[in-house]
């Protein structure tokens, strides 16, 4: 079996193991017009929402707006225009929509419908490879409202809500966009809204002054538990005992777990201990830990130091470690690293990717996580 087939089988097995979580999101979407999914980085929120949308019967039309791709408000308008065009026309070469091109009757009717929905500017935007910078998100949302009124129920899914918050002075004002979407959802009962993002931005979404305060149903997602990985191993025909040990070593980090479970050894080789397999995988590091450090430093001058201290189980917010930095500044660093997907917070701070943690510690063995009793962010 080639690598692609094995990988697809592994993801299918994980989806089957997370069936209850997928159904929980699908049920919430069937009962509520606004559904949110929050969780730490790299737990599989995007994949899980996509699978939940497929469970809807009858299938709902879905428009996906990934804020990871949005560089400005006008870029959001561009992305929405393309998604509206895809919803109306299905899979079509948008370059054929330019005026003057001879098209089949079905596509020509779709082009006329798009021109009515988006306007001439919007139709031009949908045909472009890159945004013109002239088509705003507010204009695209008005076109979306018209589309909802003329068709069946529609889902607007905003993914990676936290992305613009990572860049200082980002031109896209996420709160304004979310207020516009909330107002649209209140006017149009056929529109359902799904939001997914990292738990660190919960206050920006459902806080007292946030657009979706006391609105809809909000769910959380964590890494799959050990029982789920045992089921994945069973479906892949690998050792369930090793899967349990892997889950303990990695914290159930999905990508790392799938890499470990897909490790194949020659039939004449003895089965390796899980610790050996993880050590071998970590030894293939091509600079992952160093890139994580560079990313952390780009977020704050103390980012790299704090990342290393968390990996070593030290208290980055204790007086002995923070130097001249105030506790407030250290909390700011911790939150930025969490929003960026480098840190996660459960009972204590931890590194999201276990391979990064091993690279920063220079050892497989996890050091004890320490929580400062004076940490106000606890």
Distance, CA of 106 to CA of 102 (rounded, Å): 12
What integer pLDDT is reported at residue 232 of this predicted model? 94
Q: Which of 338, 354, 364, 372 shows the shortest CA–CA distance to 165? A: 338
> What b/e sequence results for 134-143 when a residue is b if at least 16 CB atoms lie within 10 Å of its CB, and e otherwise?
ebbbebbbbb
What integer pLDDT is reported at residue 275 of this predicted model? 87
Distance, CA of 255 to CA of 41 (rounded, Å): 12
**Cβ proximity of 10 and 231 under 8 Å:** no
> What b/e sequence results for 71-109 when a residue is b if at least 16 CB atoms lie within 10 Å of its CB, and e otherwise?
bbbbbbbbbbbbbbbbbbbeebebeebeeeeeeeeebee
Residue 133 CB-density burial (10 A; 0-12 exposed, 13-18 middle, 19+ buried): middle
What integer pLDDT is reported at residue 280 of this predicted model? 86
For 101-139, how does the pLDDT look when each residue is reduced to its tens digit (9 = 90+)? 556 666 677 778 888 889 889 988 988 889 999 999 999
Distance, CA of 311 to CA of 195 (rounded, Å): 31
- β-strands 154-159, 61-66 pairing: parallel
What integer pLDDT is reported at residue 370 of this predicted model? 47
For 7-61, how does the pLDDT look when each residue is reduced to its tens digit (9 = 90+)? 888 999 999 999 999 999 999 998 999 999 999 999 999 999 999 998 876 667 8
Distance, CA of 334 to CA of 167 (rounded, Å): 16
**Cβ partners under 8 Å of residue 80, min gap 6:** 63, 65, 137, 140, 141, 143, 144
Q: Which residues of the chain have pLDDT under 50?
A: 266, 370-378
**Cβ partners under 8 Å of residue 237, min gap 6:** none
DSSP conformational letter for 95: G
CA dihedral over 324, 326, 330, 332, signed as positive or negative: negative
- The values of phi and psi at residue 46, to 5°, are -60, -50
Match 């091993």 to its residue by tokens.
358
What integer pLDDT is reported at residue 324 of this predicted model? 79
What integer pLDDT is reported at residue 93 of this predicted model? 61
- The values of phi and psi at residue 175, to 5°, are -65, -40
| Dihedral of the alpha carbons of 149, 150, 151, 153, in degrees to the nearest 10 | 0
Distance, CA of 89 to CA of 111 (rounded, Å): 8
345 sits in which H/E element: strand 343-345
């Amino acid at each position: 079996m080639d690598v692609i087939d094995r990988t697809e089988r592994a993801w299918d097995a994980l989806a089957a193991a997370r069936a209850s979580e997928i159904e929980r999101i699908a049920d919430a979407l069937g009962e509520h017009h606004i559904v949110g999914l929050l969780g730490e980085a790299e737990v599989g929120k995007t994949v899980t929402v996509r699978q939940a949308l497929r469970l809807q019967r009858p299938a709902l039309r879905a428009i996906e707006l990934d804020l990871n791709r949005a560089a400005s408000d006008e870029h959001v308008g561009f992305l929405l225009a393309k998604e509206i065009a895809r919803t109306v026309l299905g899979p079509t070469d948008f370059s054929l929509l330019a005026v003057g091109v001879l098209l089949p009757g079905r596509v020509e009717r779709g082009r006329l419908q798009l021109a009515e929905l988006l306007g001439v500017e919007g139709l031009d935007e949908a045909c472009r490879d890159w945004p013109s910078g002239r088509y705003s998100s507010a204009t695209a949302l008005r076109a979306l409202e018209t589309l909802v009124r003329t068709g069946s129920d529609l889902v607007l899914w905003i993914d990676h809500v936290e992305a613009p918050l990572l860049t200082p002075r980002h031109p896209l004002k996420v709160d304004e966009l979310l207020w516009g979407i909330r107002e649209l959802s209140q006017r149009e009962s056929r529109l359902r809204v799904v939001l997914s993002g990292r738990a660190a931005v919960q206050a920006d979404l459902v806080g007292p002054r946030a657009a979706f305060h006391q609105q809809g149903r909000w769910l959380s997602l964590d890494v799959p538990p050990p029982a789920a990985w045992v089921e994945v191993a069973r479906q892949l025909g690998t050792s369930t005992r090793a899967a349990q040990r892997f889950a303990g070593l990695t914290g159930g980090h999905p990508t790392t777990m799938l890499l470990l479970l897909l490790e194949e050894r020659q039939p004449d080789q003895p089965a390796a201990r899980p610790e050996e397999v993880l050590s071998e995988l970590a030894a293939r590091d091509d600079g992952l830990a160093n890139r994580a450090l560079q990313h952390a430093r780009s977020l704050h001058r103390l980012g790299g130091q704090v990342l290393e201290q968390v990996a070593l189980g030290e208290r980055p917010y204790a007086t002995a470690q923070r130097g001249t930095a105030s506790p407030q500044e250290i909390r700011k660093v911790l939150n930025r690293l969490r929003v960026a997907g480098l840190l996660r917070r459960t009972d204590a701070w931890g590194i999201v990717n276990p391979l990064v943690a091993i690279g920063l510690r220079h050892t497989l063995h996890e050091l004890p996580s320490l929580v400062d009793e004076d940490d106000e962010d606890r």
